[in-house]
């Protein structure tokens, strides 16, 4: 299978000698805090001694011990969050971002060097610092966004894929993946591009597949199986490692990624389709497509329908066709639970499709 039901099971691989795979070496967090504290104590002692000799050195050491502990724990939490962010980010994104930051920082430093030469005194150094830092920020943003895109355009032999930019992508939402018609829709050739799924959408489906609710768990696992079938038996599937750190919600990430890649979004969520349309993303609504393809009935056509409940007016019976369309049959209330033959007289469009009025045939 392409997907793993338990992501933690991937960490339990065995090494070639049969032992458990070892974790990479790490500096204990307590050691990090104590080293920071020691450095702050040394700094406080030096500052205190420079201001008030021995008494100032003692006070500086005590103050440095307290401040160093607080600062060390703060830095430990900050580095932990940074490490978690790096852990979720693909390596190619980090490498491309670092290269872009380095190149742009050099350009910014060269521009700032002119300010150092031209401006009097030391006014040019802050300008050079601002230019270099702006280059670091902009270079990392551009490199991280375009690096993974460039890698996807490279063949295994190192040559570029010229057809990639001309092949639009269709990003599959989790709701579309959980819809049972995904594989049929992809095989039919209706998709206006190559099917793709973002890594964060797979993570969402993986979380739902491990949920306590049996219905959500079953639908999510069926979605993973549909994506696997799409990859193996269908037209194929691209898994995108792109991250969208500036957005928190999965739907917002998907819309932002579609805007970035100029891709369409395949979804069964009308809320997502509405938001995507407002932001300029082409959204393919599976539910709307299914409703539009329902065969329509014309006046005079006969249908077989089972009466399941009474209508709003006296004597009316209500039944439903296989596609979910409602049929209101006059004088059919006495045939509750029976299948009757009715002739369509009128059809009315509604927000959920079409509703038909019919009269019983003798």
The CATH number linked to 230 is 3.40.50.1010
* Domain with 61 in it: 29-152
Domain end marker among 266, 292, 318:
292
Q: pLDDT tens string for the chain (362 positions)?
A: 344 333 333 343 444 444 434 455 667 777 777 887 888 888 888 777 777 666 777 887 788 788 878 887 888 787 777 776 666 666 777 777 788 888 888 888 888 888 778 877 676 777 777 877 787 888 777 777 666 666 555 544 444 444 444 468 899 988 888 877 788 888 877 788 888 898 889 888 888 888 888 878 888 888 888 888 888 877 788 888 877 877 888 888 889 888 888 889 988 888 888 888 888 888 888 877 776 666 677 888 888 889 999 888 888 999 988 767 889 999 888 889 898 999 999 888 776 667 899 998 86
Output the six-digit token pair for 267: 């979804």
* 180 and 245 belong to one structural domain: yes
- Residue 67 within any structural domain of the chain: yes
Report the alpha-carbon distance of residue 361 to residue 355 in Å, rounded: 19
Instruction: Provide the pLDDT for residue 216.
Output: 81
Give the CA angle between residues 191, 197, 198 to the nearest 5°.
145
- Residue 191 within any structural domain of the chain: yes
For residues 200 and 253, the answer to whether their CB atoms sit within 8 Å is yes
- Residue 161 within any structural domain of the chain: no
* 206 and 274 belong to one structural domain: yes
Instruction: Provide the pLDDT for residue 358.
Output: 92
* 173 and 99 belong to one structural domain: no
Output the six-digit token pair for 164: 């990639």
Instruction: Provide the pLDDT for residue 215.
Output: 79
Instruction: Provide the pLDDT for residue 19.
Output: 41
* Greatest pairwise CA separation for the chain in angstroms: 113
Strand segments, DSSP code E, in the chain are 169-172, 194-198, 238-240, 264-267, 283-285, 302-310, 317-320, 326-330, 339-350, 353-360
Q: Which residue has the tokens 């999965």?
A: 250
Domain end marker among 292, 326, 343:
292
Residue 84 is classified by DSSP as H
* 225 and 188 belong to one structural domain: yes
Instruction: Provide the pLDDT for residue 9.
Output: 39
- Residue 228 within any structural domain of the chain: yes
Residues composing the chain: 362
- Its pTM stands at 0.44
Structurally, the chain folds into a number of domains equal to: 3
- Residue 229 within any structural domain of the chain: yes
- Residue 68 within any structural domain of the chain: yes
Give the CA angle between residues 239, 143, 160 to the nearest 5°.
60
* 74 and 136 belong to one structural domain: yes
* 194 and 279 belong to one structural domain: yes
Q: List, in sequence order, every residue forming a beta bridge with 353; answer none if it has no partner.
A: 350
**Radius of gyration of the chain, Cα coordinates, nearest whole angstrom:** 32
Report the alpha-carbon distance of residue 342 to residue 317 in Å, rounded: 11
Report the alpha-carbon distance of residue 335 to residue 360 in Å, rounded: 10
For the stretch 209-214, contacts whose Cβ atoms lie closer than 8 Å and that sit 24 or more positions apart, written own/partner, are 209/5, 210/5, 210/6
Instruction: Provide the pLDDT for residue 323.
Output: 67
**Residues ≥6 apart with Cβ < 8 Å to 251:** 173, 269, 271, 272, 275
- Residue 22 within any structural domain of the chain: no
* 111 and 47 belong to one structural domain: yes
Instruction: Provide the pLDDT for residue 233.
Output: 79
| Paired sense of beta strands 283-285 and 302-310, if any | unpaired
- Residue 355 within any structural domain of the chain: yes
* 145 and 173 belong to one structural domain: no
Tell me the helices (H) and strands (E) count for the chain, helix number first.
Answer: 10, 10
CATH code, domain with 340: 2.40.50.110
* 81 and 143 belong to one structural domain: yes
* 268 and 345 belong to one structural domain: no
- SS3 of residue 339 by DSSP: strand
* 102 and 196 belong to one structural domain: no
* 287 and 309 belong to one structural domain: no
Domain end marker among 257, 292, 327:
292
């Amino acid at each position: 299978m392409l997907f793993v039901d338990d992501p933690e099971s991937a960490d339990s691989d065995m090494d070639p000698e049969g032992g458990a795979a070892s974790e990479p070496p790490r500096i204990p967090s307590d050691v990090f805090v104590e080293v920071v504290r020691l450095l702050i104590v040394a700094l406080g002692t030096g500052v205190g001694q420079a201001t008030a000799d021995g008494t100032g050195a003692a006070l500086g050491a005590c103050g440095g011990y307290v401040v160093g502990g607080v600062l060390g724990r703060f830095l430990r939490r900050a580095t932990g969050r940074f490490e978690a962010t790096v852990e979720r980010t693909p390596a190619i994104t980090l490498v491309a971002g670092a290269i872009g930051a380095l190149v742009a920082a050099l350009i910014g430093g060269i521009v700032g060097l002119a300010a150092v030469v031209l401006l009097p005194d030391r006014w040019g150094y802050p300008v050079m610092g601002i230019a270099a830092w702006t280059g670091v920020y902009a270079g990392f943003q551009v490199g991280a966004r375009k690096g993974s895109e460039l890698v996807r355009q490279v063949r295994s032999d190192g040559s570029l894929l010229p057809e990639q930019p001309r092949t639009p992508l269709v990003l599959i939402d989790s709701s579309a993946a959980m819809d049972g018609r995904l594989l049929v829709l992809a095989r039919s050739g209706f998709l206006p591009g190559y099917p793709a799924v973002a890594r964060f959408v797979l993570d969402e489906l993986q979380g739902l597949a491990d949920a306590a609710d049996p219905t959500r768990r079953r639908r999510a696992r069926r979605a993973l199986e549909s994506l696997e079938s799409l990859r193996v038996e269908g037209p194929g599937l691209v898994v995108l490692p792109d991250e969208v750190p500036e957005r928190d919600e999965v739907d917002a990430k998907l819309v932002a990624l579609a805007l970035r890649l100029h891709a369409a979004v395949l979804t069964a969520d009308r809320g997502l389709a509405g938001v995507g349309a407002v932001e300029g993303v082409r959204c393919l609504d599976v539910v709307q497509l299914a409703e539009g393809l329902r065969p329509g009935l014309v006046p005079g056509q006969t249908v077989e329908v089972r009466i399941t409940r009474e209508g709003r007016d006296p004597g009316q019976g209500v039944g439903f066709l296989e596609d979910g369309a409602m049929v209101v049959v006059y004088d059919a209330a006495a045939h509750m639970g029976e299948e009757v033959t009715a002739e369509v007289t009128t059809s009315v469009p509604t927000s959920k499709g079409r509703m038909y009025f019919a009269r019983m045939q003798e």
